[in-house]
């Protein structure tokens, strides 16, 4: 049976403010889902809540992996269960080299029961593998010696996220605007890479504003988020419609959610 990541009636608060208001989503491994929606509708929040960010408080609902409660698990346990998110805004970790970071990450994710301090995967095997993945992604080997995301350009950060996806080979991956901040060539390369590194074997939740990524990784389902809810779910055509025509129809059809979305955005702008 294929692995299933299930989100049911998810309500999430950030600093006491309700952001997600009852999200339902079922991701089967092997499927690709597109998650779209205007800015501030809660797409990143959903991803961060799935990963277990401490600031994102689940006040109601469930997240399960093959029926097992993920909410009980710490973010690292979730990662070791095979759930991955490529960050919209990855953070820099000064002084920590990409290679060391990836070796530790790959060791832990591949051996979910590894004890702290136990041996990392053999350096030679790791190097060979890293080199292969980097060459597939057309990344310079020098990249591995740089500090994680430290001084990276926007595009480099996104490519580093894809490299991590390739090395960790999760069951489920949330790609949060992994195609933003890239030029046209880089978007094409990223899109192809994601398909190549086994996107088909994963359950993908692709958050995007562009169509290139979806062209190479065609979604079976498209979800539209507005004001912290998934207001509509459709097929590939829904994504195309939103690309071509924008969110006017959605906003008009779901005025209450549109009000929610606006309120959240205004609060964000006001810095509340």
Partner 1 sequence: MTELSSPCVNFSETSFDEFLETRREPAWLLSLRRAAWQTYCDGDWPTRSDEEWMRTDLRSFRLERFAPPMAGGGSLRVDGLLSRNVELAGNVASADGSLVEQHLADEVRQQGVLFGDWESMLEEHGDLLRPYLEKPLVESSYDKFASLHAAYWTGGRVLYVPRGIVIKQPLHSISAMGDGKTDLGRTLVILEEGAEATLLTETASSDESATGFHCGCTEIYVGPRARLRFVNLQNWGLGVWHFSQQRVRVGRDASLQWTTATLGARLSQVNQHVVLAEPGAESQVNGVLFTEGKQHATCNSLQHHAATDCRSDFLYKSALQDTSRTVWRGMIKVDQCAQRTDGYQRNDNLLLSTRARADSIPGLEIEADDVRCTHGSTSGRVDEELIFYLQCRGFTRKEAIRTVVTGFFQQIFDRITIESVREAMSNAIARRVRDYE
Ligand X SMILES: Nc1ncnc2c1ncn2[C@@H]1O[C@H](COP(=O)(O)OP(=O)(O)O)[C@@H](O)[C@H]1O
By the rule CB under 5 A, 208 interacts with Mg ion = no
Q: Which residue is nearest to Mg ion (CB)?
A: 44
Compare residues 149 and 208 and give the one whose CB is closer to ligand X: 208
Rounded Cα distance, 94 and 14, in Å: 27
**What token pair was written down for 18?**
């309700």
Residue 151 sits in the site that holds partner 1 (CB under 8 A): no
DSSP type of residue 89: S
Q: Is 171 in the site for partner 1 (CB under 8 A)?
A: no
The reply on whether position 45 binds Mg ion by CB under 5 A is: no
If contact means CB under 5 to 8 A according to the sort of partner, which of ligand X, partner 1, Mg ion, none does residue 200 touch? none
Mode of pairing for the β-strands spanning 56-65 and 4-14: antiparallel
For the CB of residue 28, give the shortest distance to partner 1 in the complex, in Å: 22
- Strands 203-207, 221-226: pairing is unpaired
- Binds partner 1 (CB under 8 A): choice among 31, 35, 42, 84: 84
231 binds partner 1 (CB under 8 A): no
Alpha helices in the chain (DSSP H): 43-51, 75-80, 98-110, 123-136, 154-168, 184-196, 212-216, 236-245, 248-253, 255-270
Minimal distance, residue 234 CB to partner 1, in Å: 30
Contact flag: residue 104 with partner 1 (CB under 8 A): yes
45 binds, among ligand X, Mg ion, partner 1, none (CB under 5 to 8 A by kind): ligand X
Q: How far is the CB of 17 from ligand X (least distance, A)?
A: 7
- Choice from 41, 44, 178, 208 touching Mg ion (CB under 5 A): 44
Q: Is 105 exposed, middle or buried (0-12, 13-18, 19+ CB in 10 A)?
A: middle
Is the separation of the CB atoms in 7 and 50 below 8 Å?
yes
Q: What CA–CA distances, in Å, run from 75 to 7, 14, 30, 92, 121?
A: 16, 17, 23, 18, 21
Interface positions with ligand X (CB under 6 A): 14-15, 19, 37, 39-45, 55, 264-265, 267-268
Per-position x/- string for 182-211, each x denoting binding to partner 1 as judged by CB under 8 A, each - no binding: ------------------------------
For the bound state, the minimum distance from the C-beta of residue 229 to partner 1, rounded and expressed in Å, comes to 25
Q: Is 119 exposed, middle or buried (0-12, 13-18, 19+ CB in 10 A)?
A: exposed
Six-digit token pair at 222? Answer: 């498209």
Kindly tell me which of 144 and 174 has the beta carbon lying closer to Mg ion. 174
Q: What is the helix (H) or strand (E) element at residue 36, kind and residue range? A: strand 32-36
Q: How far is CA 52 from CA 63, 71, 76, 118, 233, in A?
A: 10, 7, 9, 25, 25
Options 28, 58, 105, 265; binder of partner 1; rule CB under 8 A: 105
Taking the C-alpha atoms of residue 211 and residue 188, their distance in angstroms, rounded to an integer, is 10
Least gap, CB of 120 to partner 1 (angstroms): 11
Write out the residues near Mg ion by the rule CB under 5 A: 44, 88
Write out the residues near partner 1 by the rule CB under 8 A: 51-55, 74-76, 78-80, 84-85, 87, 90-91, 93-96, 101, 104-105, 107-109, 116, 147, 164, 168
């Amino acid at each position: 049976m294929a692995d299933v990541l299930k989100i049911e009636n998810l309500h999430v608060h950030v600093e006491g403010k309700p952001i997600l208001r009852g999200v339902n989503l079922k991701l089967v491994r092997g499927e690709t889902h597109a998650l779209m929606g205007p800015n501030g509708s809660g797409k990143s929040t959903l991803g961060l809540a799935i990963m277990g960010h401490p600031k994102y408080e689940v006040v109601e609902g469930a997240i399960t992996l093959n029926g097992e409660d993920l909410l009980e698990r710490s973010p690292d346990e979730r990662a070791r269960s095979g759930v991955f998110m490529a960050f919209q805004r990855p953070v820099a970790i000064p002084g920590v080299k990409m290679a060391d970071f990836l070796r530790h990450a790959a060791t832990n994710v591949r051996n979910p029961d590894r004890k702290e301090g136990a041996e990392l995967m053999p350096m030679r095997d790791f190097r060979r593998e890293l080199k292969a993945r980097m060459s597939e992604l057309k990344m310079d080997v020098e990249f591995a010696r740089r500090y994680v995301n430290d001084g990276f350009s926007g595009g480099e950060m996104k490519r580093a996220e894809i490299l991590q996806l390739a090395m960790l080979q999760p069951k489920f991956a949330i790609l949060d605007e992994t195609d933003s901040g890239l030029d046209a060539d880089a978007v094409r390369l990223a899109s192809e890479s994601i398909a190549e590194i086994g996107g088909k074997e994963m359950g993908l939740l692709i958050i995007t504003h562009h169509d290139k990524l979806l062209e190479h990784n065609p979604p079976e389902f498209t979800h539209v988020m507005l004001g912290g809810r998934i207001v509509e779910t459709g097929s590939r055509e829904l994504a195309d419609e939103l690309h071509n025509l924008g969110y006017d129809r959605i906003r008009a059809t779901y005025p209450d959610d549109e009000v929610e979305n606006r309120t959240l955005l205004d609060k964000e702008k006001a810095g509340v």
